[in-house]
Amino acid sequence: MADSLILSKQTSGRIAQIELVRALAMVAIFVYHLWSVVPAVTESGSVGQIIGTVSGFGYLGVVFFNFITGFVLAFPYLGPQHRAVPSFGYFLRRRFLRICPRYYFALTLWSCVLLFSGSQQNSSLLPAFTAHLTFVHSIFTTTFFAIVPAYWWLGLLAQFYLVFPLVLRLFKTLGAAKACLLICLGCWSLWIAFSLLSPTGSTGALINYMLYYNLPARLPEFAIGMWLAEAWRGDNADDTAAQSDRWSALKQPLAWVAVLALLFAFGAGAVLQVQRLCFYHLSMVAWCFVVFAALLLLKFSFRLGQSFVVVKIATASYSIYLLHQPLLGYAHDALGGSLPPLTEYTLLLLVIGAASFASAEVLDRVVI
C-alpha cells in the first residue's frame, strides 16, 4: 500500500509520515468494520455514543489509502529521482505481482469458508470468485460486496493501476499542480452533473452510487497523492539544512491548499446539499486532506512514524486489510449476542485486533 515519504536509516527506506498515515488508516478501517458488526455500541451510554460516532467515520481510511497509493506510485517518477515513465506492460506486471498472491490466497480462503459453511451465497459464489480474480467485481452490483465486502477496494486499486501510466504522462506534460486540478475539476464535475440528473430510485441513481466505488469519482483522491509526490522533497532526513529548505518549498503551497480545503469542509454544509452522496463525499475528502496535510507537516509525525508499533502495523496493513473483516464477522456470530455491546466491542477490538495482526504477519511470511 505504501513505501516511504522520508527516506531514513531508522525506517529502512520507508517514509515515516506515510507509515504513520498508513497505520492510522488501517486502524480506522478496522474499527469501522468492528462498529458495523456491533452497531448497538452506540446505545451503551455516552462512552458508547462517542465510540460509535468515531468508529462510524473509520471508512474514510480508504480515502487516506487512495492518497497514499497515488503518492507512492508517483514518487519515483515525479519526486527527486525523476525516473522515466514506465512501459504499460512492465508497470502492470510489477504492480499486480505485488498484490495478487496474498489477495488470491485470502480470497480463496474466505471463499472456501463460505463454501463449507453452507452459506446462502454459495449459488453465486463461483461468479463472484471469478469477478474478484479479474478485479471487475467492484463494477457490478451483484459482486462488489460479495465474499468479503472490504475487497471492493481491490477493484478500485486495479483501476488506479490501469490508468496510472496515462495519468503520469499527463502530470509530466502539464505539471503536477495543473494536472491534479484538471482531474479534480473534470472528474468531480462529471460526477456531480450525473448525480443531479439522476432521480432517486432510477437506474441512473444506482449507477451514480456505484461511481462512488469506482473511477472516475475516486480518481481525484489518487491524483492528490500524485501531486504531493511531486511537491515533496524530504528525501534525506539526516541533512538538516536541506530538510529545512524542502519543508519551506512544500509548506507554502500545501498549507494554502489545506486552508482552502478546510474552508470548503466547514462551508459545505451551509452552501451545498451535503445529503447528496457526491457533495457529502467531497466535503469528507476535504477533511481527509486537511488531516493528511497536517500529518505530513507536523514534525511529531516523523518521530511517531518511526516507532516500532507504527512500522509493524503499517508493514502488515495490506494483509490485515485482507483478513480482518471476516474474522470480526465470524467472531461476532460465535458470540451470538451473549455480551453487552460495549463489552463485545472492547473484546473484539483486543482479541480480533491481535489475531488480525498475527495472521497478517503469518500471511506475509508464507505468501511473498
String of b and e for 237-248 (b: at least 16 CB within 10 Å)?
beeeeebeebee
Q: What confidence score (pLDDT) does residue 297 get?
A: 82
What are phi and psi for residue 25, nearest 5 degrees?
-65, -40
Q: Minimal CA–CA distance to 84: which of 19, 165, 9?
A: 165
Q: What confidence score (pLDDT) does residue 190 get?
A: 95
Q: What is the dihedral of CA 311, 317, 319, 320, to 10 degrees?
A: 110
Give 118-147 pLDDT, tens digit per residue.
765 677 899 999 999 999 999 999 999 999
Q: What confidence score (pLDDT) does residue 269 get?
A: 59
Sign of the C-alpha dihedral computed for residues 176, 178, 183 and 184 taken in this order: positive
Distance of alpha carbon 101 from alpha carbon 45, whole angstroms: 44
Q: What confidence score (pLDDT) does residue 82 get?
A: 85
Q: What confidence score (pLDDT) does residue 207 get?
A: 92
Name residues whose C-beta falls within 8 Å of residue 6's C-beta, 6 or more positions apart in sequence.
Answer: 15, 16, 17, 234, 235, 237, 302
Q: What confidence score (pLDDT) does residue 299 get?
A: 83
What are phi and psi for residue 3, nearest 5 degrees?
-110, -100
Per-residue pLDDT of the chain (368 residues; tens, 9 = 90+): 444 333 333 334 578 999 999 999 999 999 999 999 999 999 999 999 999 999 999 999 999 999 999 999 999 999 888 888 999 999 999 999 999 999 999 999 999 999 888 765 677 899 999 999 999 999 999 999 999 999 999 999 999 999 999 999 999 999 999 999 999 999 999 999 999 898 888 999 999 999 999 999 999 999 999 999 988 765 444 444 444 444 444 555 666 677 777 777 776 655 565 667 888 898 899 889 989 988 988 888 999 999 999 999 999 999 999 999 999 999 999 999 999 999 999 999 999 999 999 999 999 999 97
Coil vs helix vs strand at 336: coil
Q: Are 318 and 102 in contact (CB under 8 A)?
A: yes
* Cis-peptide into 216, omega within 30 deg: yes
Name residues whose C-beta falls within 8 Å of residue 119's C-beta, 6 or more positions apart in sequence.
Answer: 125
Distance of alpha carbon 190 from alpha carbon 205, whole angstroms: 14
Give 147's DSSP letter.
S
Angle (CA) 32 54 331, round 5°: 35
Give 193-226 pLDDT, tens digit per residue.
999 898 888 999 999 999 999 999 999 999 999 9
Distance of alpha carbon 224 from alpha carbon 51, whole angstroms: 30
**CA distance readout (Å), 287 to 127, 186, 216, 218, 293:** 38, 20, 20, 15, 10
What count of residues does the chain have?
368
Q: Please state the pTM of the whole predicted model.
A: 0.91
Q: What confidence score (pLDDT) does residue 354 get?
A: 98
Sign of the C-alpha dihedral computed for residues 358, 64, 311 and 73 taken in this order: positive
Distance of alpha carbon 112 from alpha carbon 249, whole angstroms: 52
Coil vs helix vs strand at 55: helix
Residue with cell 499542480: 177
Q: What confidence score (pLDDT) does residue 11 get?
A: 36
Name residues whose C-beta falls within 8 Å of residue 337's C-beta, 6 or more positions apart in sequence.
Answer: none
The backbone region for 273, taken as left when phi is positive above 0, alpha when psi lies in -120 to 50, beta otherwise, is beta
Q: To which H or E segment does residue 104 belong?
A: helix 88-116
Residue with cell 444506482: 206
Distance of alpha carbon 163 from alpha carbon 334, whole angstroms: 42
* Cα Rg, the chain, nearest whole Å: 21
Q: What confidence score (pLDDT) does residue 39 get?
A: 96
Distance of alpha carbon 211 from alpha carbon 300, whole angstroms: 37
Q: What confidence score (pLDDT) does residue 116 get?
A: 87
Report the largest interatomic distance among the alpha carbons of the chain, rounded to a whole angstrom.
Answer: 63
Angle (CA) 106 109 112, round 5°: 150
Q: What confidence score (pLDDT) does residue 199 get?
A: 87
